[in-house]
Amino acid sequence: MRLSGKLLAVLFLAALMAGCAGPNQRQSTNNLFCALGGALVGGGAASAATSGASGAGAGGAVAGAALALLLCPQEAEAEEPMVEEPVCPVEPPPGALLDQNGCAYDTDGDGVYDGIDLCRNTPEGVTVDRVGCPLDSDNDAVADYLDLCPGTPEGVIVDQDGCPLPGENLLSLTGVNFEFDKATLTPEAQDILEEAVTLLKETDEVVEVRVEGHTDNIGPEAYNQDLSQRRAESVVDYLTSRGISGSNLMPVGLGESSPVARNDTEAGRAMNRRVDFVVNQ
């Protein structure tokens, strides 16, 4: 009876050992049965060998349980599934060149991938369009970041710096009217001259411009020459009052010598009364 009680105590201890040995419920159950079996076998073998000595049987049971826990197969802990990180930060767009990992690359770092970029090796920081080419706001074939004369009127021939060539007509304004027989600008003429203000603000420190005054052929030629000179000077005065540097503005009166239309009609004479802004030779 004493032997049976000790064996029960040992079996209970083996059960506790088995319960603590497993990482999860299923593993703990397997360890319990394995340890109990080991305890019974170990206890029985020890009792038989010592002719029923209770101490030996209990010791054998403990040893059998421990050995069984060591020998019983252990289930491997479940590993968390690995999440693969995407190789490319973005999906390569159609037409882009790909590297060895299948990712699109952008050699000049302008935000347009190679293979789509029509202007590779754009300098860092330059604003580009959707095909990777530097912006050219005035369409003069000189990129904005190189253009010393931005805002050049369309059709004007420019040099490598984007500035109009000598002799190029930047702007021709008709309807720039003056008070009768005077060089005083009318309010309507000042509104028209604002177009010249916008243009010259971009080039007044770079390009020297002739402000040419023209008249029709009504009146003596010498008088028209003098009147056109005074009116050209009046235009320059207005432009400088609007913030344009006068150092590169040259008022020139050409009178009736350079008509652009016939003077035998009112419409033709109106076209000839004009102000031209010409790049100085």
Q: Find, among 100, 77, 104, the residue nearest to 88 by Cα.
A: 104
Q: Given this model, what pLDDT does residue 113 score? A: 93
- The domain limits of the chain are 2-71, 87-135, 169-279
Q: What is the mean pLDDT of residues 32-39?
A: 50
Tell me the pLDDT of the chain averaged across its residues: 78
What is the C-alpha separation between 35 and 12, in angstroms, rounded?
A: 10
pLDDT(86) > 50: yes
pLDDT digits (tens, 9 = 90+) for 237-248: 999 999 998 899
- Residue for token digits 């702007």? 171
pTM (predicted TM-score): 0.56
Within 13 Å of residue 151, how many CA atoms lie on the same side as its CB?
13
Q: Which residues contact 117 (CB under 8 A, 6 or more apart)?
A: 106, 107, 108, 110, 131, 132
**Three-state secondary-structure class, residue 213:** strand
* Structure-model confidence comparison of residues 23 and 74, the more confident one: 74
Over residues 42-54, mean pLDDT: 49
**Sheet bearing 249-253, strands edge to edge:** 169-174, 274-279, 209-213, 249-253
Task: Choose between 63 and 242: higher pLDDT.
Answer: 242
The CATH architecture one would assign to domain 169-279 is: 2-Layer Sandwich (3.30)
Query: Is the pLDDT at 143 greater than 90, yes or no?
Result: yes
Mind listing the pLDDT tens digit for each residue in 263-280?
999 999 989 988 999 998
Check pLDDT > 70 for residue 28: no
Query: Running DSSP on this structure, what letter comes out for residue 210?
Result: E
Of 79-93, 103-117, 181-195, 199-213, the poorest mean pLDDT is in 79-93
Residues 111, 128 contacting (CB under 8 angstroms): yes
Burial of 124 (0-12, 13-18, 19+ CB in 10 A): exposed
